[in-house]
Amino acid sequence: MPKSMKYQRPLLPFILCFTLMVMFFLTGCSNNSSNSTHNPGTTSIPNSDPSYTEHPGSDKPLEIEKDTFVGTNGKLQVIGNQLCNEKKEPIQLKGISSMHLHLYGQLVNKDTLKWLRDDWGITVFRAAMYTEEGGYIQNKSVKEKVKEVVEAATELGIYIIIDWHILTDGNPNEHIDEAKEFFREMSELYKDYPNVIYEICNEPNGNDVNWSNSIKPYAQEIIPIIRKSSPDSIILVGTANYSQFVDEAADDPLEFNNIMYVCHFYAGTHGDSLRSKIDYALEKGAAIFVSEWGTSAATGSDGVFLKESIEWLDFLDSRKISCVNWSLSDKNETSAALSFTASTKGNWSDNDLTESGLFVKYYILGSQYHTLFSDGFETRMFTKGLISTGCTVTNNVSYKGSFSASMKNGNSLVKELNTLMFTDIELNFAYCTVEFTDKDFLIVEGFDGSRWKQLGKYSGSNDWSEIKIPLPQNASNNQSYKIRFLANTHNQSSTVYLDELKITAKKNN
């Protein structure tokens, strides 16, 4: 053995040991680096807990609170003709839809969704992204609002519908390329989200637009794009004639899993014939989702049609069909849920809701007792069906808020009610008076269709007084019951102030 080799051997263990120490040190530094800063090259393995999902573009899992509705029910599925939760139990979602996100988006944010969840009890929200009318086709940035709403709903444990809201563009194929682009992006972003539902065409319409020739071929192109990233998400498919002909879809169904066919109704326009189509579709094994319904006529005006709405909702409840009301907006139309006094951050009192909004709120809550009417005059005018003769809205004095109704001798304020399907009607209000004599009174009367009858007679009160009047039996189940406030005074300066009018009732079983 050469001399040089003899003396090199003792160095080998030292060299090996030194090498291992360096490798260990470098490995430790590498691990510490990846833990301390975001590394865009790493991919997070999704948590197996169904209450977790991932933020789009982030490797940090997002926790869905387990005591929320989504946390409890998990990823939805269709079994037969029924929407079911992760445990294969039938489930019915109830909620409300936005209006044009690009016009009324200020009303849709985490604060308002949280209020709707906590105060109304919604379990689903629909983000209606119009395609035309200034929507996505003209301004693709509106999709950023959709993303904001999805994130808010997910954090709050609410199911969220991403709605490709075609309307004036009645044929879904008109913008099919844009639809492919949009749903490819959305389904990739939210592929791990258990609460996202896709609605691929709101209301197909037009004489030449039908299920087999227009809508089904469109769906057969869009659904595989969603399924590539989100293989099990619920997909809602609109039907012909503004999403009414669900029977046609049931006769020629799509061959994909977790598909539901969309039906829309407005209580003042649609009735038994449309309900028959739904029953036919169910019997054929089609799953139905009512992603839009209104208390008004199909135009969004007229009504509120309470009796017809209750008939519809009882029908849906008996079949556990999910439903979403139209709409969360303060637009000047009957179907809008909010008065223009409503804050863009939620925290709405009943005074901030329209008559439609009140009905929808108490339906979603599942309450047997409803508020039929509520007004604190904060709109500074007589709205919600109040008919004034000589009265004014003033900020001279108020019980709550900043405004009240002012009445002098001979002035009256009338509210007409439709109490069909309701009993145990009760009137609540607050009043005070200025410069009343012993001969001056506030008179409250009721009209049952044949004659006015006095319900109460109130003398002067310098301080605000709260009044509660149980209305007579003939006020119940009455299509046109009227309540009248009348100032009966003898002094020109005598004034009655009214505030916080509220009418409650019990829904018939």
Active site residues: 203, 292
**How far is C-alpha 53 from the chain's CA centre?**
23
**How far is C-alpha 383 from the chain's CA centre?**
23
**393 close to 406: Cβ distance less than 8 angstroms:** yes
Identify the DSSP state of 300.
S
**268 close to 296: Cβ distance less than 8 angstroms:** yes
Residues 424, 425, 431, 437: is their CA dihedral positive or negative? negative
Measured CA distances, 81 to 77, 241, 284 (Å): 10, 22, 9
Number of helices (H) and strands (E) in the chain: give both, helices first.
13, 23
Identify the DSSP state of 46.
P
What is the DSSP track for 306-331? HHHHHHHHHHHHHTT--EEEEEE---
Residues 379, 381, 387, 389: is their CA dihedral positive or negative? positive
Cα–Cα distance for residue pair 203/194, rounded to 1 Å = 25
**Which tokens go with 45?**
């393995």
Give the distance between the most distant pair of CA atoms in the chain: 133
Beta-ladder partners of 393: 405
Cα–Cα distance for residue pair 341/378, rounded to 1 Å = 7
Cα–Cα distance for residue pair 498/250, rounded to 1 Å = 55
